Structure 1
Amino acid sequence: MIKAQYRVLVLTDHRGHSTENSIYALLRQMLNHPRCAEIDIATRAWAGNDSFFTAQNGEQLQVAAVTPDFAYTDEGDYLTQGLRVVDPKDYDLIFLRLPRPISDEFLMWLATLLDGKAIVNHPRGIVETSTKQFLLNFPEVCPNMQLCRSMEEVLDFAAKFPIVLKPLREYGGRGLLKIDGTTLDDGTSLHNTVTYLKGIEDILETEGMLGMKFLKNVNQGDKRILVAGGQIMAASLRLPAPDSWLCNVAQGGTSVPATPTSDEEAIIAHINPKLQQAGILIYGADTLMDDDGKRVLSEINTLSIGGFPQAEQQTGRPVLQPTIDKIFIYADTHYAG
């Protein structure tokens, strides 16, 4: 069902917001789109919404209207003042900007509650794709990797070459471990590999961790590629701090504008059909330089992707408007009433 205009509901949590958060520029741009009737936004950080976000009561939600002057403030004024109570099922298009920690249980409940609505990204797709384990679908474009569910599996894999061990649901470089023989580097200090792994045996056995070959060219940077509707919107190269192997800006790295290579364009073409099938419209794909000097896929991020206004400023090319266009095109094919 195609609608002339969509009523949009945005779900977020403003406690982690800053002036750099993409949500403000994206929603101001969306508000001006001819397919947008109105935008309301609800934050998980507002106590009045605990019944929705915590108790999973879908009857009502406290929202604020997004206006042309919608912008970040330290106090979160635009999200916590002038609120009114609405039924979330009255909206046509749901835009999720909810970072972790958001539970898979909540996301699956949300998918059921809002069945028939256009949701970007779809909650079921987020549950499926926002784990490092999802990378195992694409071994052709990734470094050598293995899902490890015991200390023995980690040690066997690490006996072949140095590896990075990744928690399945962490993000922003949190929890990454580099193992090189008997030495384990947690990004801050060095440990004995076996001693450290014994301390996380419960995590390995209950959740598992993804082991990935450590690439010696990591100092050439981790490239974040922003994708919407299968189209590459922009890219940035995140370089590690001196004497560090962690490229994430949150872990001390720096970011500069970049251009996707032909290898990276091929990677996006390879992974996009499966992401699209899962209801993922907007995502970030991260690549590293392998030991042969070729870019390979190291991460896929499908939850609350940022960097859009920064990419537009850095490149001087439109990024926000094409992204919003893709959202409404997606809504036309996914809204069922």
Structure 2
Amino acid sequence: MKFLWICDPTIYTQASQDVPTLYRHLSRDPRIEFFHAPIRSVVPGDRADVIPVPHDLTHAGFLTLDEHATQNHRLSDFDLVFCRRLKPFPAGYLDILSEWETYTKFVNSPTQKKDQMTPDFLYRVARDYLPDTLVTADLGSAQDFFVQHQTIVAKTANSCGGRGVFKIWFESDQFQVDNSLMGLQTFSTFAAVMTYLLSHTDEPLQFVRYLSQVTAGDKRIVVVDGEIYGAYIRRSRSGYWVNNVSFDGDCILSEVTPAEQQAIAGTVEQYRSRGLHTLGYDFLLDHDGVWRISEINAGNIGGFARLEQLTGEAIADRFLNWLINFASIRDRPQQLARIM
């Protein structure tokens, strides 16, 4: 069985991170011929330049994978492809992978990923489990939402790790806008705020009522093909409103409550039916004590390695067994019959 994974190894400097951890597990599994695709290999066509992953891969070897000699393979040679590239995706990237999808099978469908990344997708499939939400690029609608809630959060669709998330409030006769990467900006009018926010995206923004209990942490629940693997809470050590491990977050093991199970059960089929099988559900605590969905991430999610560290259970092996079983299901694209 041949697997192909796409990623940029150089951004995963810590051996304990998800992608290098899973690469090492895959390299040691005798059931798999494991190949790596550098980001530069994602080009149109039915073939790709790929790199055989050495057996018993070390982290140092993982970091330098892109430097190895490539082999040109037909995409139809691979039983399963998994894109582990971080957002933001460049223009046209998912279009190329959608073309690849006519030749091979993906863990998460890039064709359907394009729909899932639209600003209103989460609201359409999970509105019953979200805090107050508005998706718009209209100044008047966004300003009315701000007046109603006083403190709000704006999110861009093609981002990850808190990079496209902005907290907005009014203080000292100025509109304050905070982002974990760009820091605090001040504006004299809400119109100027909108201009600033829309400069980071070509799409409408998702606005959400700010949850005052956000410092309780961000609960990540890892879900694969509808099965819950476990949960942990990421909490900022400094009390910052963004709870992200890549900035200053700590992780503690958490339970999955009946309400969260219900939220997952009420939404997961919207993803599975679209061929999006690995999901990272993120929940934030509301003022009424209910954990509400803030994001449902589909694709390059983190959490497998973290859960294994926190629980001592073989989470990575569980996921690899699922990948092998999933790859064995013969629902490969019909176009394969014409090119084999």
Structure 1 residue aligned with 2:178, among 174, 183, 186?
186
- Alignment match, 2:54: 67
Structure 1 residue aligned with 2:33, among 38, 44, 50?
38
Post-superposition CA distance 1:288-315 (Å, at most 9, x none): 1112100110011113112312211211
1:326 corresponds to 2:317? no
Q: How many residue pairs get matched? A: 323
- Alignment match, 2:298: 302
Counterpart contact for 2:175–2:193, Cα < 8 Å: no
Which range moves more in the overlay, 158-167 or 12-21? 12-21
- Alignment match, 1:96: 83
Equivalent-residue separation in structure 2 for 1:205 and 1:28 (angstroms): 36
Identity %: 25
Amino acid at match of 2:332: Y
Determine helix, strand or coil for the equivalent of 1:210: strand
1:56-135 maps to which residues of 2 (within 5 A)? 56-73=43-60, 76-103=63-90, 105-115=92-102, 117-135=104-122
Gaps of 5+ in 2: none
Amino acid at match of 1:91: F
Counterpart contact for 1:287–1:295, Cα < 8 Å: yes
Counterpart contact for 2:237–2:250, Cα < 8 Å: yes
Equivalent-residue separation in structure 2 for 1:283 and 1:303 (angstroms): 7
Determine helix, strand or coil for the equivalent of 1:159: helix
Determine helix, strand or coil for the equivalent of 2:299: coil
- Alignment match, 1:172: 161
Structure 2 residue aligned with 1:218, among 182, 196, 214?
214
Post-superposition CA distance 1:84-130 (Å, at most 9, x none): 23222322211211112323622233222331522011111222223
Structure 2 residue aligned with 1:236, among 209, 232, 239?
232
Determine helix, strand or coil for the equivalent of 1:329: helix
TM-score normalised by length of structure 1: 0.86
1:153 corresponds to 2:141? yes
Counterpart contact for 1:9–1:88, Cα < 8 Å: no
Q: Residue 169 of structure 1: CA displacement?
A: 1.6
Which range moves more in the overlay, 64-73 or 223-232? 64-73
Counterpart contact for 1:257–1:314, Cα < 8 Å: yes
Structure 2 residue aligned with 1:24, among 13, 20, 27?
20
Q: Residue 259 of structure 1: CA displacement?
A: 1.8
Determine helix, strand or coil for the equivalent of 1:326: helix
Counterpart contact for 1:144–1:213, Cα < 8 Å: yes
